Amino acid sequence: MFRTGSVGRFLFLCGLVTINLWSLASVYGISRQSVPADTIAIFKEELSDTMSTLEYHDEFLSFYEKNNYQTVLLNRFLRNGQLAYLLSDLESVADHGLDPEIFRASEFRLIMEEINREKWFRDIETYRKKVKLELLTAYAVLKYSTIMEFGLVEPQSVDSNYFSTTVTADSTFVTRVLERREVKNYLDSIQPRDRVYKAFQFALKSDELAPGKTLEETKSVLSVNMERLRWKNRQTEPKYVMVNLANFSLDVIDQEESVLNMKVCVGESGRWASPQLNSKIYSVQVNPVWNIPVSIAKSETVRNAKRDRYYLANNNIAVYKDGKRIGNPSAIDWTINNAEDYVFKQMPGELNALGKIKFLFNNDCGVYLHDTPLKSAFKKKNRAISHGCIRLEKPMELALFLFGEGAKYEQIKKAMLNGYPQAKYIGLPQSVPITLTYFTAFTDDKGDVVYCDDIYGLDEVLSARLIAGR
């Protein structure tokens, strides 16, 4: 930037005097009305080089343009050891199952130590280091804040079946973080305080082993489940229904305590995997009709009908074409007819795959909770056996929680005992939140960490993204 020659050297020295005076003023909090043009050019250059490959590039450009390209955060944080406190937190993120290099911690420490050794900003390269430390500070504070409050990885990048509403950082959040006047109290305030999260941290530090896993594998499981806890997708109402797909379990939560627990069956791994989502249960259907999806009709219903011409009638499955019910479905030759041309409905009764009751909540995946006539399935260890919907071990206990004692609950019981079952919808007095989620580590009633299998293989995907830092 500066070339040889007497005039050039003179201008260079004059510029350094300006830089040194400004730098010292910045360190000791002395305000200044204007910034030398040369330092602005250096700042812009470093901003472009340092931030071009990192998140928040546009937000940083806006922030520093507004602040006339000054080392704003260093002016705030160099005093009172606040920058050292930030570095300490960055280097301790293994307690959160994270790698310090996500925040460029080693580079941060190196430059900070170099600048601390410089009592005077003697040359342009030292000033560049100061600007770089400013930008690394801004990046680290914002990255750390974002991860602690929202998580590091986007859930949809891990699971294509993820549909839960999840809050993420926006421009308002970025601005609020960069406007912080101090570090220590702020960093302390954003530490996750969830008791399950704390239990995971304790397990991580104590080097405990999950059953059948190595220490490295155990730490990986804890790390990915801590990340899931950081995602802002959890129910905020005091009462809700939670299905942990990985553990084949349903809990009714009231004031953060489980008041009802039962086994469930969930979707098979692969095309039938159950989704992760948030919704609200608004109604039940007693003696439900099962509208068999085309995919299941093609892969199972018609295949069985080919083997046994009476399969449809014996399983109470009605067949429709062009909106009209076919009187004798056993006469259909499925070797020349396509399943796509027909609609299949399993009518209410003892054989219905949905049992005697199903619980409805809005979602785009067409899934719901339901009873099942196959009670033996709940004795299996691996209960990933459905086509995506959730089969319930204790449907009537869930109905009692949702409706409470009273006329509607009695109506449900009476309808289910009817010898001539007919489908009937009964709306809830008030909708109840439900979340279908996925945790391969959680805590029991004593607060101890419990582990389960990664039935959909999502832990490995999430672990790789945590290691990559995105």
Average confidence (pLDDT) over 354-380? 96
**pLDDT bucket at 304, cuts 50 / 70 / 90:** very high
Please provide the size of the chain in residues. 470
pLDDT digits (tens, 9 = 90+) for 213-238: 999 999 999 999 999 999 999 988 99
Of 96, 265, 387, 389, the active-site residue reads: 389
pLDDT band at 127 (very low <50, low <70, confident <90, very high): confident
Tell me, what's the pLDDT at 120?
55
Q: Is the pLDDT of residue 122 over 90?
A: no
**57 flagged as catalytic:** no
Residue-wise pLDDT for 153-195, tens only, equals 999 999 999 999 999 999 899 999 999 999 999 999 999 999 9
State residue 126's pLDDT score.
Answer: 80
Instruction: Name the pLDDT band for 20 (thresholds 50, 70, 90).
Output: very low
Q: Which of 96, 265, 370, 387 is catalytic?
A: 370
pLDDT tens for residues 24-73?
344 433 334 444 668 888 899 888 887 766 677 788 888 999 999 999 99
Mean pLDDT (whole number) for 463-467: 96
Per-residue pLDDT tens digits for 325-365: 999 999 999 989 888 999 999 999 999 999 999 999 999 99
User: Residue 150 pLDDT more than 90?
Assistant: yes
pLDDT score at 58: 82
- Per cent of the chain over pLDDT 70 is 90
Q: Please report, rounded to a whole number, the percentage of residues in the chain having pLDDT higher than 90.
A: 75
Does residue 370 have an active-site annotation?
A: yes
pLDDT at 30: 32
Question: Rg (Cα) of the chain, in Å, rounded?
Answer: 31
Ranges in the chain annotated CATH 2.40.440.10: 195-288+356-468
Q: Give the right CATH number for 195-288+356-468 from 3.30.70.141, 2.40.440.10, 3.30.70.20, 3.30.70.2190.
A: 2.40.440.10
Please give the mean pLDDT across all residues of the chain.
89
Cα gap 61→296, rounded to integer Å: 53
Average pLDDT over residues 189-208: 95
pLDDT in the model for residue 3: 34
CB-count burial class (<10 Å; 0-12, 13-18, 19+) for 445: exposed
Q: Residue 464: pLDDT band by 50, 70, 90 thresholds?
A: very high
pLDDT tens per residue, range 240-273: 999 999 999 999 999 989 999 999 999 999 999 9
Mean pLDDT, rounded, for 387-394: 97
